[in-house]
């Protein structure tokens, strides 16, 4: 969908980091999002998993071990500063985690490497989010699962959020239907999806047949 200038106002300040790096965000991710994703898709006991777009706090990597029961969690982020901060944040987890520079639209990993791939709010920050979904599908082993949660176009393009947070690409923002559709286009089968907050947030689990 193409949005016009009048519907998508400019960003005046970028407060994204204030929220993404906050303790409140980590609490919401653990108690809300991870709990929903685990209910939708189950655990990954003893598995090797990849998180796309870790951010600086490393909460998703910690959750992969604590909440989903993975044995090893790898993460990539495209910003070297975030990778360095994330490495420091998860140092206590030792060699069960590894954080690398990487572009989720073109991963180094070989096909079929992971039991699960996690993406917490990476799609609406990626320049080509459909390529991120394709890469997630490619690196999953058959039977592996893609866990995704996102703020949708409805919230990201709202006047309030646009005023205080920058996000790329106005024309093809993730929405509940389009995230599910992109999974299917990438060859995944959507197992479950839950959309909340009047369509502003969606969580989904899909599997590679």
Ligand X SMILES: C[S@@+](CC[C@H](N)C(=O)[O-])C[C@H]1O[C@@H](n2cnc3c(N)ncnc32)[C@H](O)[C@@H]1O
- The reply on whether position 40 binds ligand X by CB under 6 A is no
Nearer to ligand X, 81 or 143 (CB): 81
The pair of structure tokens assigned to 163 is 């005023």
> Which of 8, 76, 137, 188 forms a contact with ligand X (CB under 6 A)?
76
With respect to ligand X, which residue has the nearer C-beta, 105 or 193? 105
Task: Give the Cα separation of 133 and 148 in Å (integer).
Answer: 9
Q: Which is nearer to ligand X, 7 or 17 (CB)?
A: 17
134 binds ligand X (CB under 6 A): no
| List 49, 72, 82, 206, residue binding ligand X (CB under 6 A) | 82
Binding ligand X by CB under 6 A: which of 68, 114, 120, 155? 120
Q: Toward ligand X, which CB reaches closer, 28 or 190?
A: 28
- Residues 6 or more apart whose Cβ sits within 8 Å of residue 107: 50, 76, 135, 138, 139
CB 104 within 8 A of CB 132: yes
Helix (H, G, I), strand (E, B), or coil: what is residue 101?
A: strand
Chain center to CA of 133:
10
Taking the CA atoms of residue 22, residue 37, residue 186 and residue 105 in that order, the dihedral angle to the nearest 10 degrees is 20
What Cα–Cα distance (Å) separates residue 31 from each residue in 23, 119, 165? 12, 16, 24
72 binds ligand X (CB under 6 A): no
105 binds ligand X (CB under 6 A): yes
Stretch of 40-48, 77-85, 133-141, 174-182 contacting ligand X, by CB under 6 A = 77-85
Does 104 bind ligand X (CB under 6 A)? Our answer is yes
Phi and psi at residue 206, in whole multiples of 5°? Answer: -130, 155
Residues at the interface with ligand X (CB under 6 A): 20, 25, 29, 52-55, 60, 76-79, 82, 102-105, 120-122, 125-126
């Amino acid at each position: 969908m193409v949005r016009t200038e009048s519907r998508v106002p400019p960003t005046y300040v970028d407060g994204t980091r204030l929220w993404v790096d906050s303790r409140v965000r980590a609490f919401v991710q653990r108690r809300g999002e991870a709990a929903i994703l685990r209910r939708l898709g189950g655990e990954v006991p003893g598995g090797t998993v990849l998180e796309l777009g870790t951010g600086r706090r490393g909460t998703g990597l910690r959750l992969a071990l604590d909440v989903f029961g993975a044995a090893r969690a790898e993460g990539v982020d495209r910003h070297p500063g975030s990778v360095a901060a994330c490495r420091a944040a998860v140092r206590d987890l030792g060699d069960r985690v590894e954080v690398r520079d990487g572009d989720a639209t073109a991963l180094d990993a070989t096909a079929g490497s992971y039991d699960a791939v996690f993406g917490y709010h990476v799609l609406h920050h990626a320049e080509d989010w459909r390529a991120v979904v394709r890469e997630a599908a490619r690196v999953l082993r058959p039977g592996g699962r893609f866990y995704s949660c996102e703020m949708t176009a409805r919230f990201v393009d709202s006047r309030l959020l646009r005023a205080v947070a920058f996000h790329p690409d106005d024309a093809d923002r993730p929405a509940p239907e389009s995230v599910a559709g992109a999974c299917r286009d990438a060859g995944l089968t959507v197992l479950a999806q839950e959309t909340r907050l009047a369509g502003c947030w969606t969580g989904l689990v899909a599997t590679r047949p």
